[in-house]
Amino acid sequence: MVSPMTTVPLVNAVVFSAYEHAKAFLLTRRLNDTSGVLTNHEAMMAGAWAGFVNSIVVTPVELVKCHLQAQVSPATTLLAGGFAGCVCWTVSYPQDVIKSRLQLQPLGQPSSYATSTFCPDGGFIACAKSIVRQEGWRGLWRGDSPCLLRAFPSNAAGFATYEMVKSVFFFDKDGVSMPVQAKAKAGQ
């Protein structure tokens, strides 16, 4: 990508050149006024012309730049998917531990997490408190290492597969969403 330090002066050169050409054109069309100063209406027309010329020059360049910036390499997709899966499991792992402990309680016996007669089966919060009290906060993440070792490759593959399928089935060669393209063809 080209630095804005090199492109902004070029864009400004286009804008001011177009403005000066429009200004000269408008001033030569006057009959009796030689002041060399544009009226507000003429300045607006010269500015509009400069903006129009600028849009013709800059818009294609911006379009190419946006498409190049939007392209993500497969390696980036794999890393993003892997890290996203690890973050997801790190955040949600305590809930999974609590759920598993509640599911592993013996059937037909009173819950070891029961707090009162109103909650004889214990419950999520009672189980969480019991784990923290007996094992410390680390107990909520007991067994997370194997989970994270599995999460990285499986989520990396999942994200990469999703992106590949999306690009093959839902976008045309120009990167336009097919549902949007279908609406445009239908005149909506």
Task: Say yes or no: 63 and 121 in one domain.
Answer: no
Cα distance between residue 57 and residue 18, in whole Å: 11
Residues of the domain holding 24: 4-70
Of 54, 70, 86, the one marking the end of a domain is 70
Task: Say yes or no: 107 and 32 in one domain.
Answer: no
Give the global pTM: 0.51
Query: Which residues, 6+ apart, have CB-to-CB distance to 179 below 8 Å?
Result: 170
Phi, psi of 99 (to 5 degrees): -60, -45
Cα distance between residue 15 and residue 47, in whole Å: 9
DSSP 106: P
Report pLDDT for 1: 52
Task: Say yes or no: 138 and 61 in one domain.
Answer: no
Task: Say yes or no: 47 and 99 in one domain.
Answer: no
Task: Say yes or no: 93 and 142 in one domain.
Answer: yes
Query: Which residues, 6+ apart, have CB-to-CB distance to 28 below 8 Å?
Result: none
Taking the CA atoms of the chain, what radius of gyration do you get in angstroms? 32
- CA–chain centroid gap for 79, Å, is 15
Per-residue pLDDT tens over the stretch 87-112: 999 999 999 998 888 888 777 666 77
Per-residue pLDDT tens over the stretch 37-48: 888 998 999 999
Report pLDDT for 47: 92
Note down pLDDT in tens along the chain; length 188 residues: 566 677 788 888 888 999 999 998 988 887 777 787 888 998 999 999 999 998 888 888 787 777 667 777 888 889 999 999 999 999 999 999 988 888 887 776 667 766 655 555 567 888 888 889 999 999 999 999 999 999 999 999 999 998 888 777 776 666 666 655 555 565 55
Of 20, 35, 70, the one marking the end of a domain is 70
Using CB atoms within 10 A of its CB, is residue 58 exposed (0-12), middle (13-18) or buried (19+)?
middle
Of 21, 44, 70, the one marking the end of a domain is 70
Task: Say yes or no: 45 and 117 in one domain.
Answer: no
Reduce the DSSP state of residue 175 to 3 states and report it: coil
Task: Say yes or no: 92 and 16 in one domain.
Answer: no
